[in-house]
Homo-oligomer: A and B are copies of this chain.
């Protein structure tokens, strides 16, 4: 199936927003896509017909398996092109996003796969974001900041960014150490803080700064 750039942008936006809260609102989409809520409603109806997402009016929206598959392929293209722009064409990492927004809509699957091979199957783009492989799988045992974690994904603390005593002090206080298993339950967009759950304990809040410096790994 072939989708328009606009449709692809909607699917991608839903995917990204779903990482922050599992069902996505019309307004959030309108803001992310720089468009009007009414336009979002219109498009959601079309995407629902194409079975790319589940949508009940006033109830928000979720991707179907097919929608997720599509989103991941678009993200794969985006990140591979960014890698290409920075490492092959020597663009600065700040300039590549906009160009990749266009390139990600180029159709040919063979093109992406050849590009992937040419680049040496990179696992992370220039911003540190993981690049899905041909089958949509993220690099195994990925490290990413706690602040970047999708909700409810089980993860293990693998490293600490800021290792100053003040930071380690905070971690000790919260009983977080290498190997601690946790999941993000909620994200507060006001200040970027996250609420995490560790089995057998009460949920606790972690500031945006700390969350950026707690590196976690997860499988699949």
Q: Which residues of A does B touch, CB under 8 Å?
A: 85, 88-91, 95, 98-99, 102-103, 106-108, 110-111, 114-115, 118
Contacts and interface: CB of A to CB of B under 8 A. Distances in A.
A200 to B, nearest CB: 50
A4 to B, nearest CB: 12
A132 to B, nearest CB: 19
A114 B90 contact: yes
What 9 A-B pairs come out closest when comparing CB atoms?
A89-B114, A99-B108, A102-B106, A99-B111, A89-B118, A102-B107, A103-B106, A88-B118, A89-B115
Interface of A is mostly: helix
Contacts of A108: 98-99, 102
A99 B89 contact: no
A89 B102 contact: no
A89 B111 contact: yes
Contact of A114 (B91, B98, B110, B118): B91
A124 B152 CA distance: 54
20 contacts: A85-B111, A88-B118, A89-B111, A89-B114, A89-B115, A89-B118, A90-B114, A91-B110, A91-B114, A95-B110, A98-B108, A99-B106, A99-B107, A99-B108, A99-B111, A102-B106, A102-B107, A102-B108, A103-B106, A106-B106
Given A89-B111, A90-B114, A99-B111, 10 more contacts: A88-B118, A89-B114, A89-B115, A89-B118, A91-B114, A95-B110, A98-B108, A99-B106, A102-B107, A103-B106
